[in-house]
Structure 1
Amino acid sequence: MRWQTLPSGVPASTEWSHSGIALDREGNLFWAHPGGGAVLVRRALDGGVEQIEVPLLEIHGISYDPRRGGALWLADPGFKPRPPDYDVEAREGRGGRLDLRTREFTALSRPSHPAYAKDPWRPTSIAVDGPAVFVADGYGASLVHLYGDRGHERTIDGSESGLPFACPHGLVITETDRGRELVVADRGNRRLVTFGLDGTYHGTFTHPGLRSPTCLAVRERELIVTDLDGALTAVDLETGALRHIIPFPAAGKRDGWPNARRGGTLSRPDLVEGTLNSPHGVAAGPDGSIYLTEYVIGGREVRLTP
């Protein structure tokens, strides 16, 4: 695939980007401002970049919902390292819907689950199918929550698979001969777990080529998976065959990964075209293109075209 590094929209930022990415039906591209608090939009018509302010600390998960004029579902885990020393700013996590017509953000209620008597809510990803809204709490209690018309309705902890979730980081809705399903990138357990939209467990996929599955997108009959250790992976939704679109880098992780430690100071590493450092968010376009972000100081947004 042809590699294109996209202009960042925030040149030379020293903020540590932890962004998702999404594409709407018109080809407009959405990702997070590295400093948090805003969504960046690259307009399909002229390539210009605009900024939408949102009341969130870190825009981690981004998914597009075409209903009612278009919206973004945003997941904010509630913490962000800040330069110059990258000490963490923290507050309560949030998830919700940004209406793209009115620019109004509507937050979901915190899940009514006993885990949050002691654990913070730290949403990482949201997937939507009609009135069903699934929220992954990857960085808090390692749970996936289902919201419906009555608010929070059900919690999935992964135990039906024989193993509780360990950082259910990314979510996506797929459609196969089995019908519509929810796929969870269970990063800490190095696996993909599939559920019916009612929360019923359907199956687990593991493979030596999955080291740290992070975020998910659907491209035709393939599940596209970013692997935080440095690979971009495709899994055939019917056969389960796995291939690496971009393989893991040959070099091991440097001191300070995903950044670089120079003289005791964290800084942006030297990023090489064609090699991934720490791929994070992912989206797929109707032409087969893949868009991804990297978890690194300053961020990096890449488009891969067939």
Structure 2
Amino acid sequence: MMANRFLAAAATLVLMSALPAHAFQLDARYTDADGDMVADIPTDPAQLVDPETLIFAYTPVEDPSVYIDVWAEFLDHLSSVTGKPVEFFPVQSNAAQYEALRAGRLHIAGVNTGGNPIAVACLGFRPFAMMAREDGTFGYEMEIITHPNSGITEIGDLAGRQLAFTSETSNSGFKAPQALLESEFAMVAGTDYTPAFSGAHDNSILGVANADYDAAAVANSVLKRMIARDVVSADALTTIYTSATFPTTGYGVAHNLTPELQDSIAEAFFSFDWAGTALEAEFAAQGESKFVPITFAADWAVVRQIDAAMGVEYTCN
């Protein structure tokens, strides 16, 4: 899988970090008898749920209202395959998505790259799919962007300036850039540059374009979509750093859905025909045109390595 190509870079981060590494493990509420690093489906029928209506949420990287129509045709297909009504839940933040998963109010979700380990470890999330290009390749890069009049032309110019992150759970919006800046350029947040938090990738991108931030670390998948929709002009931004490729949003289900329902949900993802749909139009800027199977153990290895380099512990409440 593609994640194997990232391991050398991730290992470098681990070796160069002075922070302690912590082994990934699931919260005590879950079991992993098959060793695949995700929560097992309960064997006790009393612990299984078979909701009358399925609730789906896309990762809250941009204005959720934009995505109600984007996902409509897919959700109709999902409803047809599962035989259940499906509702789109427009979450406003990663925290809101996690809380809905924890409380059992959310059954199917697209969880952002950096949030997948948290959702898997603490919320019983079982990721199984990712968007991919026609040739089966997938992923995105973290870019550090600035505006043309900032006077910033290379990473060293960030010294003494403000760098916007998105949220502390984001891979490309916080964890990867902070680790890479420290390991590759010996630049420490709060010492060599001033961190700020915008809350979302679109906020960071628009903030840089409007010169509210000197620079920002963002997922270029979001950047490409915003440029394609004319939300922001490519001329308003300059990229000074591009990372190696990371896995993108992972799609999965709550662990305690019945096995039959989990199978039918997966079938819906892999049988959906993107041609001519709003989903195809929205993600065309990234070249994505289908869902492909993934595993958390293999495809999120690089993300777990970055978390380990940063000393991240998944404290589940």
Q: TM-score scaled to structure 2, two decimals?
A: 0.26
User: In terms of Rg, which structure is larger?
Assistant: 2
Give the number of the structure whose residues are more often helix, by fraction.
2
Q: TM-score scaled to structure 1, two decimals?
A: 0.27
Give the number of the structure whose residues are more often strand, by fraction.
1
Higher relative contact order (CA 8 A, sep 6+): 2
